[in-house]
């Protein structure tokens, strides 16, 4: 059995058309029959332009929004059939890293408070020394000095804030990480640092990852396999190098052509 299986997931929204008093609606098919399998320990890159349904799919996998149709199965456990309480308990095993670390972190909570709260969700009550030890280990794991644990998000750079967000995602000791555009809000000079950190964490902690991006060159760097999404559907999947070297779908070819190339004269 695959570690994570997404079976024919659809997410449709009703959008009012016409004027304020109109009773007519259009159906927006944000995700329209997506099926994906991810093996344990694998990094699957999901790539597509903005508006293709990637983020809607990630929220559906996380059970933040219910699917219109289909099923999400994690370790042979159907998440889409669980009630809200069971989903909350199960969500300790799958965590999300968001695009904007500043928006995803509570500005009124220090790093200590943020990580402590996430650790407690898995371990319950711990004494101060045990919590401090776990927070220290988490900070060191993502490349942050423990002396910064009493600081607030606004006191860090964008790259440092994303490291805090990664630490928070790791705090409940999940098995699956869904990374939704985790480097697109960062400077290019910082992106490679975060990508290398994520790759190292997958290996070190034996994680499985769905890495979402609009940038095919970023996905190529980090992913074992790539799935290409276009207008709510998966149009092509394959091993990363094979797909990049020999794309089959016209949209994949367009994504490849959009990657900047440096010409030397």
pLDDT digits (tens, 9 = 90+) for 132-169: 999 999 999 999 999 999 999 999 999 999 999 999 99
Least reliable range by pLDDT among 17-21, 156-160, 241-245? 17-21
Asked, for residue 135, whether it belongs to a domain, the answer is no
Asked, for residue 185, whether it belongs to a domain, the answer is yes
Per-residue pLDDT at 51 exceeds 90: no
Give the mean model confidence (pLDDT) for residues 179-186: 91
Give 262's pLDDT tier (boundaries 50, 70, 90).
very low
Share of the chain above pLDDT 90, in %: 80
Per-residue pLDDT at 264 exceeds 50: no
Spatial strand order in the sheet of 4-17: 24-38, 4-17, 69-74, 77-78
Establish how many alpha carbons lie within 13 A of residue 176's alpha carbon, considering only the half-sphere containing its beta carbon: 23
Asked, for residue 103, whether it belongs to a domain, the answer is no
Per-residue pLDDT at 122 exceeds 60: yes
Asked, for residue 62, whether it belongs to a domain, the answer is yes
The tally of domains found in the chain comes to 1
Asked, for residue 119, whether it belongs to a domain, the answer is no
User: In which domain, by residue range, is 79 found?
Assistant: 4-98+172-257
pTM, two decimals, is 0.91
Per-residue pLDDT at 265 exceeds 50: no
CATH number at residue 12: 3.40.50.300
Share of the chain above pLDDT 70, in %: 96
Asked, for residue 212, whether it belongs to a domain, the answer is yes
Give 174's pLDDT tier (boundaries 50, 70, 90).
very high
Asked, for residue 161, whether it belongs to a domain, the answer is no
Asked, for residue 265, whether it belongs to a domain, the answer is no
Give the mean model confidence (pLDDT) for residues 60-73: 95
């Amino acid at each position: 059995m695959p570690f994570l299986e997404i079976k024919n997931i659809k997410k449709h929204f009703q959008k009012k058309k016409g004027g304020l008093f109109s009773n007519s609606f259009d159906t927006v098919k944000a995700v329209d029959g997506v099926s994906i399998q991810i093996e344990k320990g694998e990094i699957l890159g999901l790539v597509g332009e903005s508006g293709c349904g990637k983020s809607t799919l990630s929220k559906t996998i996380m059970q933040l929004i219910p699917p219109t149709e289909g099923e999400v199965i994690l370790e042979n456990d159907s998440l889409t059939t669980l009630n809200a309480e069971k989903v909350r308990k199960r969500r300790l095993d799958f965590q999300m890293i968001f695009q904007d670390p500043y928006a995803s972190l509570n500005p009124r909570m220090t790093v200590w408070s943020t990580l402590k709260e996430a650790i407690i969700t898995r371990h319950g009550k711990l004494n101060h020394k045990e919590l401090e030890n776990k927070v220290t280990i988490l900070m060191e794991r993502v490349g942050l000095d423990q002396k910064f644990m009493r600081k607030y998000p606004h006191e860090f750079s964008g790259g440092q804030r994303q490291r805090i967000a990664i630490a928070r995602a790791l705090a409940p000791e999940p098995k699956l990480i869904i990374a939704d555009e985790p480097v697109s809000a960062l400077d290019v000079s910082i992106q490679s640092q975060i990508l290398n950190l994520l790759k190292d964490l997958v290996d070190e902690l034996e994680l499985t990852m769905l890495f979402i991006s609009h940038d095919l060159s970023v996905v190529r760097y980090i992913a074992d396999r790539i799935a290409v999404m276009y207008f709510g559907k998966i149009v092509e999947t394959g091993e990363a190098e094979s797909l990049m070297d020999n794309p089959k779908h016209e949209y994949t070819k367009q994504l490849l052509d959009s990657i900047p190339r440096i010409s030397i004269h």
